Amino acid sequence: MLGPAAGAAVYHGKQDALEAAFPDADEIETKRFFLTEEQREQVQDLAKAPQKDRLITVHVGKKGDRILGYAFLETHEVRTLPETLLIVVSPEGRVAKLLLAAFYEPPEYEAPKRWLGQFDGVELGPGLRVNRDIKGIAGSTLTAHAVTSGVRRVLALHELLLRNEDSTQE
């Protein structure tokens, strides 16, 4: 094994990440949702991935009255250490942007930018899995699975908490 070089890289602070999420926004509003146990299970069912948190924070990018998207800071464990992704979901429920904000595993396991690029525009569906619509990463299997599960979770949260809100605003 090409080792677990202990590393820890933080590429974006929270504010910096949110600015990158919505460079054109007039305003970024923070919304918090408290999931009921039933909602937590619904997210898991939709995502087909574990959802531990019941406190969900969403940063809503706005330009005038128009919603540009919803930004989530999704943190999960890769192998034994965490990574944080900034995932922006469009009002239609597609991934609009995905940035690696922090990666605490050894750098060898880090997903290349080019690989992360394949999530642009994806939506929640059975194909959103490694080795289906999502290609694997040679030598970083766990990272590929962790990122994909994180994206599924975020899209499921959008579906459950924000999809109706979008439709009422249209």
Partner 1 sequence: MKLRKTSSLLALGLALGVVPIAPPSALAASTEERIRLLEQQLKMMQGELETLREEAAREKAEAERARKEQENKTNVVAETVDELKSAMTIPEEIELEGQYGLAPAASKVYKRDRGLSIGGYGEIVFRKPTTDRVRTDGGVTVDQTRSDAQRLILYTGYKFNDWIIFNSEVEFEHGTTEPTVTEGSGGEVSIEFAYLDFLLSEYANVRAGLVLAPMGIINEVHEPIGFFGVDRPLVDRTIIPTTWREVGGGLFGNLLPSLTYRMYAYNGLNAVGFSPAGFRGGRQNGTEALANDWAFIGRTDYEPVSDLLLGTSVYAGNSGQGQSIESDSGSQVRIPSSLTTIWEAHGQWRWRGLEARAMLAMSWLRDAGQLTTALREIGELDDDETIANQMLGLYAEVGYDILPWILPDTGQQLLPFFRYEYNNTQLHVPSGPSFMADGEFQDRIWTIGLNWKPIPQVVLKADYRDWNPVTGTKADTVDLGVGFIF
Q: Counting runs of H as helices and runs of E as strands, what totals does the chain give?
A: 5, 6
Which member of 21, 67, 95, 101 binds partner 1 (CB under 8 A)? Answer: 101
Q: What residues contact residue 127 under an 8 Å CB cut-off, 6+ apart?
A: 133
Angle at 147 between CA 117 and CA 61, to 5 degrees: 65
State yes or no: residue 168 binds partner 1 (CB under 8 A).
no
The residue (of 75 and 90) whose beta carbon lies closer to partner 1 is 75
Q: Does 102 bind partner 1 (CB under 8 A)?
A: yes
Which residue in 52, 114, 168, 170 binds partner 1 (CB under 8 A)? 114
Contacts with partner 1, 31-70, as mask; x by CB under 8 A = -x-x-------------xx---x-x-x-------------
Residue selected from 60, 73, 95, 156 as contacting partner 1 according to rule CB under 8 A: 73
CB 142 within 8 A of CB 160: no
The residue type of 163 is: R
Q: Does 11 bind partner 1 (CB under 8 A)?
A: yes
Per DSSP bridges, beta strands 95-103 and 55-63 are unpaired
Question: From the CB of 119, what's the least distance to partner 1, in Å?
Answer: 12
Residue 157 to residue 155: CA distance in whole angstroms = 5
**Contact assessment for residue 82 and residue 76, using Cβ atoms and an 8 Å cutoff:** yes
Residues contributing to the site for partner 1 (CB under 8 A): 1-17, 32, 34, 48-49, 53, 55, 57, 73, 75, 79-84, 101-102, 104-106, 112-115, 118, 126, 129-133, 135-139, 141-142, 145, 149
